[in-house]
Copies of this chain bind each other. A is one copy, B any other.
Amino acid sequence: MNGAEAFIGTMWNCGVEVCFANPGTSEMQLVAAIDKQDGMRAILGLFEGVVTGAADGYGRMADKPAMTLLHLAPGLGNGLANLHNARRAGTPMINMVGDHATYHVHFDAPLTSDAEAVARPMSDWVRVSKSERDLAHAGVEAYNVARTYPGKIATVIVPADHAWTEGSAAIEAPLLPVAQVSPQEIIDAAAEALRAETGSKCLFLGGRALREETLILAGRVAAATGARLICETFPARMQRGAGRVAVEKLPYFGEQAEAFLKEFGTVVTCGTEPPVSFFAYPDKPSWLLPDGAKLIRLASLREDAHMALAGLADALDAPTENISTQERKIFPVEDGALTPASIGAVLSELIPENAIVSDESATAGMYIYGLTEGCEPHDWLTLTGGAIGQGMPLALGAAVACPDRKVIALQADGSGMYTNQALWTMAREELDVTTVILNNGSYAILNIELARVGVENPGPKALSMLDLKRPEINWSQISEGQGVPAVRVSTTEEFRKELAKALATKGPRLIEALI
């Protein structure tokens, strides 16, 4: 078999089942190899940001990597923003980036470009294949890297001649790397700090600490010590809703976050790093914990969060019963014009059990998040890296990973435009995704940020950079143009009716909420 077939066969042996793809000429041999690999699924995206975002959504839900197939350095470039988000999420992912045949590079043809250099800033690991035989080895290594707890971004550059040259063979699946465990000394120190009588305490949680079973451990620690449970502002995947251990979310704006954290004398972090401001602002702090707070890093994103919290619960001899859990809460729906608050209220009633929510709702989401805490239990995925244009691709990939679960994408209009091509793939694959576009005709967050960075009295030219109303974007037309049925709504009643209908029906649908 040729190098491409050996590579794809190796990936299959590792258990990789899905490839999100946007191939070009230099990837045709990899396309042919996927074609020959029975069972492997190939899903076309019409833009690379869709491809990498979808692989992120898949990886977060499947806890194993999908592949992406990308066309040289420019194609990879188009996928970088969502690779950045995936890397911040600790998502397992394997990128195959086709490149010119090795002997063709020195001719400097128009597409000649440095794929390795483009890959490096947004990958945890990059490897250029050395030969048709080496390509399969690169695949095994990539798989091992991608499966490093909780997940990493591994990128393999595939010269076209390595793909098409005969004389290679697929490799069997490798052993998986084992997650690092926090040392007992750290666990004991955390237990001691939380046991102390003085001051207010919290567990600051992120990463894999936010899964249902791990949150039960956090809930036990809270019950034993009175520590509050707080999570990072943008978790990769949070299991929340009625019956689960509830976690408060750190506010986005630095000054709010700082005020929120002010009371804590003891902070134990698990699955993430201590909180910092998202951006810097003149005369505002970047570090958000109060001066003199005792900080114990129980586990970073890379140490096993479940084992760390299990150890901590043990050390505290924490109770296993009477753990505080979230109650089912439905907020009353206000009649009339649609607002973020009324959308949140409708969602509090309608998000179905076991749904997956991809949240890129930006400013509108500040209301929605709180109102949905008492929904039926569900998974909540967020914009981990702040590179907008992630919400719909993420929903797409989550739907591929979990075909039996309803996926809801809460999508801000401005952010949604970056990767609107995700809609086409949702239609093509008949994915069970309900996309709610929160159309306020504005980069609303920037209107706030403009003042926060100290710009006073912005003129019309500055304000025009934040305005999406001239012309108005009609998302329903964009959606239907890509094969996803769509409807525009502007009242709470209409929204409730259309959302209920979409959730009751399988398949992709878009609701454009004019707020």
A interface residue numbers (CB < 8 A to B): 21, 23-26, 28-29, 31-32, 34-36, 42, 44, 46-47, 49, 72-75, 77-81, 84-85, 88, 100-101, 103-104, 107-111, 113-114, 117-118, 120-122, 160-161, 164, 234, 273, 276-280, 282, 286-287, 384-387, 389, 414, 417-418, 420-421, 424, 427-428, 445-446, 449-450, 452-455, 458-462, 464-465, 467-468, 470-478, 480-483
Q: Which of A81, A100, A234, A421 has the most CB of B within 10 A?
A: A81
Beta-carbon contact of A26 and B471 below 8 Å: no
Known: A35-B458, A111-B387. A81 touches B78 (CB 8 A): yes
Beta-carbon contact of B453 and A25 below 8 Å: yes
Beta-carbon contact of B28 and A455 below 8 Å: yes
| Assembly CA distance A465 to B27 (angstroms) | 11
Beta-carbon contact of A286 and B164 below 8 Å: no
Q: How many copies of this kind of chain does the complex include?
A: 2
Q: Which of A31, A287, A467 has the most CB of B within 10 A?
A: A31
Top 7 nearest A-B pairs (CB, nearest first) are: A471-B483, A77-B80, A477-B481, A74-B387, A101-B280, A104-B280, A35-B462
| Assembly CA distance A465 to B164 (angstroms) | 18
| Assembly CA distance A122 to B104 (angstroms) | 19
Beta-carbon contact of B471 and A424 below 8 Å: yes
Residues of B within 8 A of A478 (CB): 477-478, 481-482
Beta-carbon contact of A280 and B160 below 8 Å: yes
How far is the CB of A473 from the nearest CB of chain B, in Å? 6
Residues of B within 8 A of A47 (CB): 389, 417-418
Besides A34-B461, A73-B80, A117-B120, 15 new A-B residue pairs in contact (Cβ under 8 A), listed by A number: A21-B465, A23-B465, A25-B279, A25-B453, A26-B279, A34-B462, A42-B465, A77-B80, A84-B111, A104-B280, A104-B286, A111-B278, A117-B121, A118-B118, A424-B471
How far is the CB of A284 from the nearest CB of chain B, in Å? 10
Beta-carbon contact of A455 and B78 below 8 Å: no
- 5 interchain pairs, CB-CB under 8 A: A46-B468, A75-B387, A77-B80, A104-B286, A117-B120
Residues of B within 8 A of A120 (CB): 117
Residues of B within 8 A of A107 (CB): 276-277, 286-287
Q: Which of A47, A449, A471 has the most CB of B within 10 A?
A: A471
| The one of B286, B445, B480 that contacts A474, using a Cβ cutoff of 8 Å | B480
| Assembly CA distance A304 to B118 (angstroms) | 31
Residues of B within 8 A of A459 (CB): 35-36
